[in-house]
Amino acid sequence: MATVVAKIGSSSLTDEQGVIASGAIEGLCAQVAALRAEGHRVVLVSSGAVAAGVSAFGLAARPADLPTLQALSAAGQSRLMRVYDDVLASHGLVGAQVLLVPHDFVNRKQYLHARQTLTRLLELGAVPVVNENDAVADDEIRFGDNDRLAALVAHLVNADVLVLLTDTPGLFTADPRRDASASLIEEVVASDAALVAEVAEVGGAGTARGSGGMASKLAAARIASWSGVRAVIAAAGRPHVLADAAAGERGVGTVFQPHQRRLSARKLWIAFAVGSAGRIEVDDGARRALLERRSSLLAAGVTRVSGRFDAGDAVEVAGADGRVFAKGLVSLGHEVLASVAGRRTGDLADPSLGLVIHADDLVTLPG
């Protein structure tokens, strides 16, 4: 029995007017039912709430301001779940709405609550339908797209495979819309950092009805890989795509093999899901301490501070050669850090200013 997390985006669930395409959900749920009949557990991560809200209010286009987007999400989410509930029920399955925010992964207590809820739903035989709680999400502290959310959910439920459904067959060597010679990349080995760096530039932004794109799916696949989860980017319209992905069939899409090293949910969030507000450069001694001993970063090892950030923001950590090798949540704002950079803790009037990034809030990056 495998646990499968499948993510589908707005562009695959709605028509050009943003109306929920019942046929698309019916096809997806039929595949879910087939997996369930084989004894597998399935979690759906579904976008579409905002798009459905746009349609519900008869708007000509998706707005850009946060209050309106949150209001549309509130109206659209219930409509989206109504379709899922009805279609899943036709297969004898129970759908269960689960709305998550980043705090559910960063805070240990919330993380355990979320895992407990999802685990129990799967034990009861339900099909959890997960989405970001866009109606109340903070614009600065949010997933931004459901690809990353799906990868974190895959970690949360200890999934065997994450399937990222999109409108293309997978990841290509170049944009196939512009380059006729572009070919499908069938497999990305977790240790192949050069390939990951190369294909990272392939994807662009999502469609007008969605917020993701190939770049966000690549980021999600990285998160899954460093969770020990196999990830597959595949076409939503491919027949039996979920069953083939779960079975490991070749040619189903682009497969990202899991990495041997597994990061915690908190460190996955820091490494891959939150943007960097600045950069800290450190000397060779500090670099070795962070890489070899997994130590905290102290002010004494800081040689340069770039960017404007506050305490609690994510920052990149680079060595003397300028190459980024770690990322963490900084304890000091940029101005305070610049004033204590290079100074030993014992020489500071306030010793607490000597701690720049605690080891629990710092992760060394792959590659």
Give the chain's mean pLDDT.
87
Q: What's the confidence (pLDDT) of residue 366?
A: 64
195 pLDDT more than 70:
no
Q: What's the confidence (pLDDT) of residue 14?
A: 78
273 pLDDT more than 80:
no
Residue 20 phi, psi (nearest 5): -60, 125
> How deeply is 280 buried, as exposed, middle or buried, from its count of CB atoms within 10 A (0-12, 13-18, 19+)?
buried
Q: How confident is the model at residue 4 (pLDDT cuts 50, 70, 90)?
A: very high
Query: What digits encode the pLDDT tens for the residues 208-218?
Result: 444 446 778 88
H/E element holding 111?
helix 108-123
H/E element holding 75?
helix 66-90
* Biggest CA pair distance of the chain: 70
219 pLDDT more than 90:
no
275 pLDDT more than 90:
no
Q: What's the confidence (pLDDT) of residue 284?
A: 96
Percentage of the chain beyond pLDDT 70 is 90
Percentage of the chain beyond pLDDT 90 is 57
47 pLDDT more than 70:
yes
Q: How confident is the model at residue 13 (pLDDT cuts 50, 70, 90)?
A: confident
Taking residues 195-220, what's their average pLDDT?
Answer: 56
Query: What digits encode the pLDDT tens for the residues 82-139?
Result: 999 999 999 999 999 999 987 787 777 888 999 999 999 999 999 999 999 888 776 5
- Tokens read off for 89: 């029920």
Short-list 366, 364, 274, CA closest to 327 = 364
* Four-residue CA torsion sign, 288, 293, 294, 295: negative
Of 34-43, 91-100, 182-191, 267-276, the one with minimum mean pLDDT is: 267-276
318 pLDDT more than 70:
yes
207 pLDDT more than 50:
no
According to the per-residue pLDDT averaged within each range, which of 23-27, 134-138, 188-192 is highest?
Answer: 23-27
Q: What's the confidence (pLDDT) of residue 74?
A: 92
Q: What's the confidence (pLDDT) of residue 194?
A: 42
Taking residues 23-52, what's their average pLDDT?
Answer: 95
Q: Which residue segments constitute the domains of the chain, with CATH numbers given?
A: 3-263 (3.40.1160.10), 275-364 (2.30.130.10)
Short-list 354, 269, 364, CA closest to 316 = 364
